[in-house]
Amino acid sequence: MTADAAPPLYLQIATQMAELIRNGTLARGARMPSVRELARQRGVAQSTVVQAYHWLEDARLIAARPRSGYFVAARPVALPEPTVSRSLRRPRDVSVDWLGQRILGNPHPSDVVSFSSGTPGPDLLDVDRVRRAVTRSVQRHRQLLCTYPSSAGHEDARRAIARYAVGLGCSLDPERILITGGCMDSISLCLRTVTRPGDVVALESPTHFSFLEVLQGLHLKALEIPTHPRHGISLDALQLALETQPVKALIVVPTLSNPLGACMPQAERRRLAQLAARHGLAVIEDAIYNDLAEHDDHRRTVKSYDTTGHVMLCDSFSKTLAPGLRLGWVEAGRWTEPLRAIKDLQAGGQSPVLELALADLIVQTGHAAGMRQLRSAIAARMESVRHVIADAFPPGTRVSDPPGGLLLWLELPRGLDTVQLHQACLAERILVPPGTVFGTGGRFRNCLRIGVGGDWTAGHVQALRRIGEVAGAMASAASQRRA
């Protein structure tokens, strides 16, 4: 896949239909042309139209009704977006907030309604499909249970991952892929390879709490780069940082960043790869959420534009297939051999039986359809959550609108302390992470991250309304004090 290649025919049709929906030519609730009718109009195969309609479904622009066809979807609830961070701070030592460790790093009692998870629960994942794949792998490869695993991972699993990576826009050599104990394991290995204690690592702001944990454990300094809630990390700010600070590496989540849910445009991904080559910067790309993105172009990685080996691609299937397998992978570009040496020394290998079960899952013909079903189920849940937030949270609340994924970033009215809100809700057995745990120096104190993964129940909707009520009461009290 080249950067200048024309988009596939189904995507051309889908984007044209999307424009008709967005400009009102196809009104909300209107019936879409049938697959046969549109195929005849466009002179294409019906399968091409089906692909286009699947893309529009993933984008929440149309919805299928049994035995009735496709219809333009109802207009989603409109909420203002969070404001954009603009300040570029100096590098800081990382001291992870104990609150973050308690909220995001530990299991919670069963009577606590938690909004801390960005991982699909068993109700969204196909547990039986995973069970069958693991059972087949044990039956076919039981001799591997009695042998030491390869540190790099089973060659058949690495070939399956290379085949899967084509969907990320990458052409990877299976021999250069290393299977790891998860995406965070991959990221940690990358950091151990390209940095030393005291080095500066750039990352998005706000950022994933686990990134801060890893930086602290490796005694690295964090340089937070301003990040747009829709378009991702500011490359202009990163350019300035590279010119003024001794930045050794960048951790970036170009697709559905955690916690904002931002997605970098493809032009910016290409620019980032070029920037890395020009400055000799190690870019550690986390692609763990790419399969949850609603639009195909959001799944193409920065790595796909990398011609110099400066992008280290990390991924796992914990957010889409089976968190319990604890398997990830990394292609470390020009640092492949040094990283391999560190992994041999410190980590060893994973279970080849589970690796081959994963390979089975990702090469099955039904995998793409399963991802579409997962994205559709997540989108429906997210839309219902946004309706609750619009109805129950105080005026002035701003909410991210990510094109996929299970995370929402809320910016509450100024002066509302979400650490206090967290404490008040916890007293009612409701757990919601305050924004302070997603940055350094106590930033984002009026923000929340709402995760709609985990064991989601009807009680979560009621609990979310209660969070809004408590936030509203706190906002009113703050307003009265100011008056």
pLDDT of residue 283: 98
Return the pLDDT at 321: 93
Residue 156 CB partners (closer than 8 Å, separation 6+)? 356, 359
Give whichever of 126-130, 308-312, 361-365, 412-416 has the largest mean pLDDT. 308-312
Tokens encoding 129: 């499909």
Share of the chain above pLDDT 70, in %: 94
pLDDT, tens digit (0-9, with 9 covering 90-100), for 79-120: 888 987 777 778 888 877 666 666 665 667 788 999 999 999
Residue 273 near residue 300, CB atoms below 8 Å: no
pLDDT score of 286 more than 60: yes
Return the pLDDT at 172.
Answer: 97
* Whole-number pLDDT of residue 64: 87
What average pLDDT does the segment 150-178 reach? 96
pLDDT at 100: 63
- What pLDDT score was predicted for residue 106? 64
- CA dist 437 and 164 (Å) reads 33
What is the residue-averaged pLDDT of the chain? 90
pLDDT for the residue numbered 73:
83
Measured between alpha carbons, how far is 132 from 122 in angstroms, rounded to an integer? 15
pLDDT at residue 188 greater than cutoff 80: yes
**Would you say residue 165 has pLDDT above 90?**
yes
Whole-Å CA distances, 13 to 42, 44, 48, 291: 9, 10, 9, 22
Q: What is the pLDDT of residue 2?
A: 41
- pTM for this one? 0.86
pLDDT at 253: 98
pLDDT 10s digits, 225-262: 999 999 999 999 999 999 999 999 999 999 999 999 99
- Given a contact cutoff of 8 angstroms between Cβ atoms, the answer to whether 271 and 226 are in contact is no
Residue 77 confidence (pLDDT)? 67
Statement: residue 444 has pLDDT above 60: yes
Can you give the pLDDT at residue 3? 41
Query: Does residue 435 register a pLDDT over 80?
Result: yes
pLDDT at 305: 98
The full DSSP string for 358-402 is HHHHHHSTTHHHHHHHHHHHHHHHHHHHHHHHHHHSPTT-EE---
User: Residue 20: which pLDDT band, with cuts at 50, 70 and 90?
Assistant: confident
- Enumerate domains of the chain plus CATH numbers: 9-72 (1.10.10.10), 95-124+368-482 (3.90.1150.10), 127-363 (3.40.640.10)
Between residues 77 and 380, the one the model is more confident about: 380
Give the number of residues written for the chain: 483
Distances (CA, A) of 248 to 87, 272, 330, 334: 20, 15, 19, 15
Q: Is 392 exposed, middle or buried (0-12, 13-18, 19+ CB in 10 A)?
A: middle
Contacts of residue 126, defined as CB under 8 A and 6 or more positions apart, other chains included, come to 370
Average pLDDT for residues 123-152, to the nearest whole number?
92
Query: What is residue 97's predicted lDDT score, i.e. its pLDDT?
Result: 66
| Model pLDDT, residue 197 | 97
**Averaged pLDDT for residues 25-34:** 87
Beta strands in 209-365 (DSSP E): 221-228, 232-233, 247-252, 282-286, 311-316, 328-331
Encoded tokens for 144: 């591997």
Pairwise CA distance, residues 186 & 331, whole Å: 9
pLDDT band at 24 (very low <50, low <70, confident <90, very high): confident
Dist. CA 131–CA 135, nearest whole Å: 6
Element housing 209 (H / E): helix 209-217
Which pLDDT score, from 0 to 100, does residue 379 have? 85
Cβ atoms of 435 and 103 within 8 Å: the answer is no
In contact, 294 and 61? CB cutoff 8 Å: no
For residue 330, list its beta bridge partners.
178, 314
Could you give the CA distance from residue 203 to residue 274 in angstroms, rounded to a whole number?
A: 18
Is residue 5 over pLDDT 60?
no
Q: What angle do CA 209, 211, 214 make, to 5 degrees?
A: 115
Burial of 107 (0-12, 13-18, 19+ CB in 10 A): exposed
pLDDT, average across residues 170-192: 97
Placement of tokens 């989108």 in the chain: 379
- At 99 the pLDDT is 64
